Homo-oligomer: A and B are copies of this chain.
Amino acid sequence: MPRPDRPSAARERKRELILDAARAVFAAEGLEGASLRAIAARAGYTPAALYFHFDSKEAIYGELLGESLEALGEALESAVQDTSADIALRQASMAFFDFYATRPGDLDLGFYLFRGGMKPAGVGADRDRQLNAALANALQPIAEAAIDMGAGEADARRVMVDVFAHATGLLLLHHTGRIRMFGTEAKAQMTGYVDELVARIERLG
């Protein structure tokens, strides 16, 4: 299995082709329903061929999540461009929420891999660490905005976690349609939460 050090452009193009197929299958069939065969078929490949490009089905998932987290980071980054600190915090937080609100599949993927990451603890450990780092990196703009507002480092980290947790919980209710039964709306609740959060930090500063 010759996996060259300097991957050619063609090789990279094929990988992307497969990842695109995987994204399409996820969107159409959902995460559990997506089989390697289906991904291969949609990519115009034989199942066996995928193993020249990825180590396993989980590796494909991982790659997909990696790209998603990168896109998330860029979304937050561009949300904080050229603004005062409090508005940056506000916009970064809402950008996080909006990112997953408009990409339910990516949220699924994140749930799947972040939860599954616990069990084996052996094989996926490397990738696990990588994904952890990618997530932390993507969320960084939130922490930085908090610091710019005068918060200490520990507080900033707490803010980051709070935003992540609140948004994630609301998104879960949102994407499963459960939030309707409470007569509320996810984005409005998120906005309200961020308002409080900003006020709290300003009180601290």
- Identify the A interface with B (CB < 8 A): 1-2, 30, 32, 37, 41, 46, 108, 111, 114-119, 132, 135-136, 154, 157-158, 160-162, 164-170, 172-173, 175-179, 181-184, 189, 192-193, 196, 200
Contact = CB atoms under 8 A, between A and B. Distances in A.
B170 A184 contact: no
A183 B166 contact: no
A114 B176 contact: yes
Most chain B C-beta atoms within 10 Å of own C-beta, residue among A37, A168, A169, A179: A169
Nearest to A117: B176
A161 to B, nearest CB: 5
Report copies per complex: 4
Contacts of A157: 182-184
A135 B179 CA distance: 12
Nearest to A177: B118
Contact of A161 (B135, B160, B189): B189
A192 B197 CA distance: 12
Contacts of A165: 165-166, 168-170, 172-173, 189
A200 B195 CA distance: 11
Most chain B C-beta atoms within 10 Å of own C-beta, residue among A136, A176, A189: A176
A157 B136 CA distance: 32
